[in-house]
Amino acid sequence: MGLGLGMTANGAATRRRLFLRTWGCQMNVYDSGRMADVLAPLGYAPVDAPEGADMVILNTCHIREKASEKLFSELGRLREMKREREAAGAGMVLAVAGCVAQAEGAEITRRAPWVDIVLGPQTYHRLPEMVARASRAAGAVIETEMPVEQKFDHLPEGAASQGITAFLTVQEGCDKFCSFCVVPYTRGAEYSRPAAAVLAEARRLVAAGAREITLLGQNVNAYHGEGPGGRVWGLGRLLRALAEIPDLLRLRYTTSHPRDMDEDLIAAHRDVPALMPYLHLPVQSGSDRVLAAMNRGHTAAEFLAVVERLREARPDLALSSDFITGHPGETAADFAQTMALVERVGFAGAYSFKYSPRPGTPAAGAPLQVPEAEKDARLQALQALLREQQEAFNRSRIGLTMPVLLTGPGRHPGQVAGRSPWLQPVHLLGPAALIGREVPVRILAAHPNSLSGLLLAEDAPSPSLRAEEPAPA
d(CA 92, CA 175): 38
Instruction: Consult the annotation and say whether 3 binds a ligand.
Output: no
- Give SS3 for 48: coil
Instruction: Consult the annotation and say whether 400 binds a ligand.
Output: no
Instruction: Consult the annotation and say whether 61 binds a ligand.
Output: yes
Torsion of the alpha carbons at 360, 175, 20 and 102, rounded to the nearest 10: -40
d(CA 101, CA 297): 29
d(CA 163, CA 242): 18
Instruction: Consult the annotation and say whether 427 binds a ligand.
Output: no
Instruction: Consult the annotation and say whether 245 binds a ligand.
Output: no
How far apart, in Å, are the Cα atoms of 54 and each of 75, 115, 419? 15, 13, 36
Closest to 422 measured CA to CA, from 205, 139, 400, 409: 400
Instruction: Consult the annotation and say whether 240 binds a ligand.
Output: no
3-state secondary structure 299-349: CHHHHHHHHHHHHHHCCCCEEEEEEEECCCCCCHHHHHHHHHHHHHHCCCE
Count of other CB atoms within 10 angstroms of residue 202: 22
Roughly how many angstroms between the first and final C-alpha of the chain, as a whole number?
Answer: 61
Interacting residues of 402 by C-beta distance below 8 A, sequence separation 6+: 420, 421, 440, 441, 443, 463, 465
Which residue ranges make up the annotated binding site? 25, 61, 99, 174, 178, 181
Which residue ranges make up the annotated binding site for [4Fe-4S] cluster? 25, 61, 99, 174, 178, 181
